[in-house]
Structure 1
Amino acid sequence: MSTAVQERAVHERDAVEVRRGWWTREHALLIALLAATAVAYCWNLTVNGYANEYYSMAVQAGAQDWKAWFFGALDAANGITVDKTPASLWLMGLSARVFGFSSFSMLLPQALLGVASVGVLYAAVRRWFGSSAALIAGAVLATTPVAALMFRFNNPDALLVFLMVAAAWAVTRAIDAKKALRWLVLAGLLIGFAFLAKMLQAFLVLPALALAYGVAGSARLRTRLLHLLAAAGAVVVGAGWWVLIAELWPASARPYIGGSTSNSILELALGYNGLGRLNGEEVGSVGGGGQGGGMWGTPGLGRLFSSEMQTQASWLLPAALVALVALAALSWRLARTDRMRAFAIIWGGWLLVTGLTFSLMQGIIHSYYTAALAPAIAALVGVGVVVLWRRRTELVPRAVLAGTVVLTGLWNWRLLAETPTFVPWLRWVVVFAAVAAGVLLLVGPELPNPGDGARYLAVITATLIGVASLAAPAASAAATIGSAHTGSIVSAGPATGGGPGGGAGTSFLGGGGTAGVSEELVSLLQNSDSRWAAAAQTANGAAPLQLASGEPVLAIGGFNGTDAFPSLEQFQEWVADGEIGFYIPATGHGGGRNSKIETWVTENFTPQTVGGTTVYDLAGHS
């Protein structure tokens, strides 16, 4: 029998479990996985408070006004939007409308997106490789520290990751289906909607998804190409409907597009949130991102394995890369339509394109971006482990699996050393389990089930592999869940974020967030009958005021104060019309500041002190 035929036979044996359909134990294990994920992600969900107050401000506004909800405005009076497309705010805003605005109602949809992502990844992996691989993949995703962070936070990454996983599942269905077009169109719509969550980052998975169907689809080449063209059209529709509305809507009747230089969502997508992220030419670079990547490592192939990036999602990244090579080697002799090859293209392409982009980009990058790598790492590890395990009677697969387990244990041992707040003995348990599993794999019996002794040995070996692979990231994820993370720049692990704005803008009242807003100041703002109760420099300065009072507060200059909104003339006109109640200057330094507006206010209005805060009454002197 030829090697190709042998490989095909083994691959079909791996997928037998899928064809058997659902059975009791599989069903129970899936429910247990999803339930455990839900408990972990929803446990003490409010520990993060308002999380990133920049987005919390917009969620609160969307819960109060439908136009603010649709455009992602920072305030219910529709002054300026967040510097992203607003899809992720829609879910949180709807939850806040139903349950009332609070930390829990805002973050609950994010946690549920995490559970759904684990479930959809399970479905995508199980379809071709059975429930064992799917359960491992789901567990890896759920215990990835950066995933545990982002699925309990209000950044756009939670929705982005879910939609990309769903798109990969749809492409998996398209490769299987006789009528593939509808599944490809669905994948295109999902990626288009993912653009509305975090713009161009959603497109990083497109090359892998398109190539997988182009190579492994069952239709003729011409038909496959036509299907891909239709899917590309679906991407345009999925993203373009909202972009078209935002561009055609009269600028005077909608909020200013935050983060843009020309009040245009297209300019924002291609500039600050597009090419600027790659070449380092962003407008208003913040948070240490800028040229060279700041605190998250110098651009280069080693970035994901160094600095703060390494403890976010790289715990099983070496294992995923080994699994990708192994799957590619096993599938290269198989038929064009073989599912193992298609799987390697989908998830390996996802990992390589996204990972290389994060590694080499010159512009703003934050460590939590690596949440987008977690599903690909999880899928590759889940399938790689199962495929190599089922071939452990062969020397090469057994050696590769043993080496991968030892490598993973040693890498996790190193990463645990970077997080000294963990129990010190855990790293030694991990490395012992890895070495022991590696030895047992190499010297174990050749036959997987020759007797009870070998069966028990296989259980022990599998348990050691699980400890070596999952104990460290699970501990980091648990530490992430158990501690507060706030601000615009956060990272997984026991350490907390940098407070409101994460140190990125001008800090308000010394960075105390809503806790720094006195009851007297809240009462003053709530008694204002102006369109905006107050105006403050940057969203970082405005967010605590609005969140504490529930009244619209104008964020001058947007996120970090560099947006050309409003102009001095526009601000003066609003003041003359009595549309702004108070001006509250920020304290501290950093970020941008519209000095013309602040100078005009301080020269023409008299300051007063309310609850320890300097306030300028604008409406009383209109």
Structure 2
Amino acid sequence: MDIVIASLDTSTVPPRLAAPRAPGRSKLAAERAGLAALLIATAVMYLWNITVDGMGNQFYAGAAWAGSRNWEALLFGSLDAGNFITVDKPPVSQWVMGLSGRIFGFSSASMLIPQALMAVAAVALLYGAIRRVTGSHYTGLLAGAALALIPVAALMFRFNNPDAAMVLLMTAGAYATVRALQRASTLWLALAGVALGFAFLAKMLEGVMVLPALGLAYLIAAPTPIRTRLLQLLAALVAMLVSAGWYVALTLVWPASSRPYLAGSTDNNFMNLVLGYNGFARILGRNRGGGGRGATPPVPSSGGNAATAVPGPAGPAATAVPAPAGRGGGGFGGNQVRGVERLFSGEFGFEIGWLLPAALLALVLVLVARRRAPRTDLVRAGAIVFGGWVVIDGLVLSYMKNLAHPYYTLSIAPAVAGMFAIGIHEMWVHRHTVFGRLGLAGLIAVTGVWSFVLLHRNSGWYPELRWVILVVALFAAALVAMPWDRGGSRRIAGAALTLGLIGSLAGPAAYSLATVGTAHSGGGPTVGPARADGRGGFGQAQSNPQLSALLSATTSTWASAINGSSAAAALEIESDKSVMAIGGFSGSDPTPTLAEFQADVKAGKVTYYVVSGQGARGGNDSAADTRSAGDNATTGRDRAGNGGAGNTTAGNDGNGNGANRNAGSGNNSGGFGRNQHTDISDWVTATFTPQQVGAATVYNLSGYTG
């Protein structure tokens, strides 16, 4: 404990216009050993039993599989090796996982291990940034450890969503900006722009949410004249546009007929995704499913009794069964509030909330403490970088209207950890003042109390833990508030601070360890101990070995076609064959047209058409509940509330229509918009003969001559 506190025992503020003085050999060796220990511990924690998540989110796993089979699929982030359609995000994350699969063979391990290694890299970059801001090696270690122990980081850096790659690149941008701030370096600022450009190619606008904070910090604090600062920022902006724009240009100049359709767009144009489906429409609440059309995305409610479809004996007609209830805030954010309280409530609070109040308090304390510092003060600039990142990105997350997954908060995890560490260091430096001691006590106390509140929300899980954390944190806060200035009393202050930091990190550490030890799958994974609600597993199709064996024997470009990307990806992983995802993720992407699909069938490129009776948990079902005449249309909906007509007679089908349907003719889109391709399903069911394969109804399209 003493060695940790000794690191923060700085009686003077380190120089702000130059890099910290090089330490002696023995000190340098100790610092390297400390950093190595942190990185090894992070690697062990994040790599331990990583395959417990299996294929994680099957949607992105399908793209990683496709990239491991086909170079063009890797380049564009295709969902299938036949390059019919992409995932609805840019491909940076798929590049990493797909390339790993090409080198080591596609598997759960080859896909997920790179994600965990990204966590180690993010911790190292955050350490480096905070080390330079504060001049303290141990404060850097504190920041890195805090990031590693934030539950949303422990969840998403072991999962296969694009967020891990995006956040690593955002952290790299912050690190490069800190380096640029030290000596007004154009090169380092340009590298920050490059990092954010590739963060954009990981998850579009979310990847550049840190940009305003980085730009503001450099504009205010860089040790160079204002004209030079503006020119350097312009150069960094150009670097960002070039590093992101080359891929955008590639999608524009590459003939659309020879590349996969860009999923989520209405016109096969990348910028349509940026401005619509994955951009401003999502923030402003104008997103209505893939391609910007269709029904409002479903908001599953805790304890709801919506139905999911299971096969009936005669085909894809289904019988409704209750969907498992879950704690609000998972999935697409059931029971969410909208506003500043969002990040502190529900699942959001469990994923990011632990150190968030302290980080916001730290921003205020640091700005007050450094109010008389020179313009170029690096500590204040660091507070603008990391505190501004928390505030700007956090406000967007708090007020975005549509599709707000709690795990999106990974985007502010490095900022929360960094700001917390800067605040602790700055108050320790000023511990000889009442302001410093009370500020330090406040940071520890607010973290301990808030951890108690969060753990109380899950009061059945180790109920003693929250009381221990509360007592330890308040006791430590009371000790650090006292004036321990001389001799042995300094050791008491140091021990009190160490105790306070242990109490501050105990809550998130416990929840992170529980997260690491629990399997996660689907589109809405959640943190903490295992629960009986499926852990946000919507979008996960159930296994069908008979169907997989049937598809494995095919030799066509696409073994089958099925509505929705998640269902298609699941079939690809099980059968090791490409599957055409009609309509993309939401089912409303305008591809393929009926004529295009008929041409592919006639050319022998598609062997089967699949109607899944079980579908994917949480909204990707292909069949709906069957009711007799006069039944209410709402009973023909799947769990997520998406229409999916089953076998009906004179009554209403799952879309609320009174028209007659053949068995399996109506299909859910496989996502969160209404199916736009009933013309294809109607043509298939009118032209071909169905057969039951496990829980699925399958149509053999072979031999069609038009």
Compute the TM-score of the two structures, normalised by the length of structure 1: 0.93
SS state at 1:616 partner:
strand
Give runs of aligned pairs for residues 212-231 of structure 1, distance below 5 A.
212-231=217-236
Deviation at 1:456, TM superposition (A): 4.3
Aligned equivalents of 1:138, 1:251: Cα separation in 2: 44
Query: Equivalent residue of 2:526, what SS?
Result: coil
Check whether the contact 1:490–1:497 (CA below 8 A) recurs between aligned residues. Answer: no
Aligned equivalent of 2:35, options 19, 25, 30: 30
In structure 2, give the amino acid aligned to 1:148: A
Distance 2:384 2:95 in 1: 32
Instruction: Work out the CA distance in 2 between the residues paired with 1:15 and 1:434.
Output: 36
Q: Please say if residues 501 and 540 of structure 1, whose CA atoms lie closer than 8 Å, have aligned partners that are also in contact.
A: no
Match of 1:300 among 339, 343, 352: 339
Query: Is contact 1:18-1:127 (8 Å) kept?
Result: yes
Please state how far the C-alpha of 1:442 moved relative to its aligned partner. 2.5
In structure 1, the partner of 2:105 is 100
**Match of 2:199?**
194
> Counterpart of 1:604?
687
Residue 218 of structure 1 deviates from its aligned partner by 1.3
Alignment of 1:508-523 (within 5 A): 511-512=541-542, 516-518=543-545, 520-523=546-549
8 Å CA contact 1:149, 1:480 repeated in 2: yes
Distance change >3 Å, CA 251–CA 496, structure 1 → 2: farther
Matches within 5 A, 1:43-192: 43-129=48-134, 130-177=136-183, 180-192=185-197
Structure 1: unaligned runs, 5 residues or longer: 1-7
Match in the other structure for 1:571: 597
Shift of 1:283: 3.5
CA distance in 2, matches of 1:80, 1:11: 55
Cα deviation, residue 25, structure 1 = 2.2
| Equivalent residue number for residue 446 of structure 1 | 484
Q: Distance in 1 between matches of 2:464 and 2:516?
A: 21
Q: Secondary structure at the match of 2:224?
A: coil
SS of the residue aligned with 2:527? coil
1:564 is matched by which residue type in structure 2?
Answer: P
Checking the alignment, whether the CA contact within 8 Å between 1:52 and 1:500 is kept in structure 2 is no
Unpaired segments ≥5 residues, structure 2 = 1-9, 290-295, 302-328, 614-620, 622-637, 643-671
Residue 472 of structure 1 corresponds to which residue in structure 2?
Answer: 507
Distance 1:272 1:17, change over 3 A: closer
Give the counterpart letter for 1:282 in structure 2.
Answer: N
Question: Are positions 1:532 and 2:532 aligned together?
Answer: no
Residue 436 of structure 1 is matched in structure 2 by: 475
- Residues 360-404 of structure 1, C-alpha deviations (whole Å, 9 max, x = no match): 112221000000111111111111112212322211211121122
1:19 to 3, 21, 25: 21
Give distance in 1, aligned partners of 2:385 and 2:212: 9
* 1:385 match: 424
Please, which of 240, 246, 257 is the counterpart of residue 241 of structure 1? 246
Is the 8 Å Cα contact of residues 296 and 303 (structure 1) preserved in structure 2? no
Rounded to whole Å, the distance in 2 between the matches of 1:48 and 1:566 is 33
Partner of 1:4 in structure 2?
Answer: none
Asked if 1:503 is matched to 2:514, the reply is: no
**Equivalent residue pairs, number:** 600
CA separation of 1:133 and 1:286: change in aligned 2, threshold 3 A: same
Deviation at 1:54, TM superposition (A): 0.4
SS at match of 1:315: coil
Residue of 564, 568, 575 corresponding to 1:549: 575
Whether the 8 Å CA contact 1:58–1:89 is kept in 2: the answer is: yes
Cα distance in 2, alignment partners of residues 314 and 427 from structure 1: 15
User: Residue 12 of structure 2 corresponds to which residue in structure 1?
Assistant: 10
Structure 1 176/442 Cα, relative in aligned 2: closer, same or farther at 3 Å?
closer
Could you say what secondary structure the match of 1:295 adopts? coil
One-letter code aligned to 1:117? A
Q: Which residue of 1 aligns with 2:415?
A: 376
AA aligned to 1:604 is T
Separation (CA, whole Å) in 2 of partners of 1:325 and 1:15: 23
2:529 maps to what in 1?
Answer: 494
Matches within 5 A, 1:361-372: 361-372=400-411
User: How much has 1:88 moved relative to structure 2?
Assistant: 0.7
Shift of 1:418: 2.0
In structure 1, distance between residues paired with 2:68 and 2:538: 27
SS of residue in 2 equivalent to 1:585: strand
Of 212-221 and 15-24, more deviation after overlay is shown by: 15-24
Aligned positions of 1:295-444 closer than 5 A: 295=334, 297-420=336-459, 422-443=461-482
CA distance in 2 between counterparts of 1:298 and 1:362 reads 10
1:262 CA drift (Å): 0.7
CA distance in 1, matches of 2:176, 2:597: 49
Partners of 2:102 and 2:417 in 1: CA distance: 35
1:204 Cα deviation (Å)?
1.1
Q: CA deviation at 1:18?
A: 4.0
Give the C-alpha shift of residue 422 in structure 1.
3.0
Distance in 2 (CA, whole Å) between partners of 1:270 and 1:608 is: 43
- 1:478/1:55 Cα in 2 relative to 1: closer, same or farther (>3 Å)? same
The offset of 1:289, in angstroms, is 9.2
By how many angstroms is 1:496 displaced?
6.2
Contact 2:445 2:473 in 1 (8 A): yes
Query: How far is the alpha carbon of 1:15 from its aligned partner?
Result: 11
Matched-pair contact (CA < 8 Å) for 1:296–1:309: no
Question: CA offsets per residue over residues 67-91 of structure 1, 9 Å max, x none?
Answer: 0110011000000000011111000
For 2:334, what is the secondary structure of its paired residue?
A: helix
Shift of 1:20: 3.9
Deviation at 1:294, TM superposition (A): 4.8
Letter in 1 for 2:45: A
Q: When the two structures are superposed, what TM-score results if normalisation uses the length of structure 2? A: 0.82
Contact 2:170–2:196 at 8 Å: present in 1 too?
A: yes
Name the % identity: 46
Give a deviation string over 1:146-204, Cα, whole Å, max 9, x none.
001110011111011111111111111111125x1111111111111110000011221
Q: Aligned partners of 1:416 and 1:138: how far apart in 2?
A: 23
The whole-number CA distance in structure 2 between the counterparts of 1:571 and 1:500 is 36
- Per-residue CA deviation, residues 193-218 of structure 1 (Å, 9 max, x unaligned), is 11000001122111111111111111
Report the alpha carbon displacement of residue 464 of structure 1 after superposing the two structures with TM: 2.0
Q: Please give the alpha-carbon distance, in whole angstroms, between the structure 2 residues aligned to 1:72 and 1:497.
A: 33
Measure, in 2, the Cα distance between the counterparts of 1:171 and 1:116: 17
Matches for 1:578-589 after TM superposition, within 5 Å: 578-587=604-613, 588=621, 589=638
Q: Report the 3-state secondary structure (helix = DSSP H, G, I; strand = E; otherwise coil) of the residue aligned with 1:536.
A: strand
Cα distance in structure 2, aligned partners of 1:32 and 1:296: 41
Aligned equivalents of 2:418, 2:218: Cα separation in 1: 18
* Comparing 486-495 and 126-135, the one that deviates more: 486-495
Matched residue type, 2:439: V
| Equivalent residue, structure 2, for 1:3 | none
Query: Structure 1 CA distance, aligned partners of 2:76 and 2:224?
Result: 41
State the Cα distance separating 1:620 from its structure 2 match: 4.0
- Counterpart secondary structure, 2:106: coil
Q: Which of 43, 47, 55 is equivalent to 1:42? A: 47
Counterpart in the other structure of 1:282: 287
CA contact (8 A) 1:289 1:366 kept: no
| Mapped partners of 2:561, 2:518: distance in 1 | 32
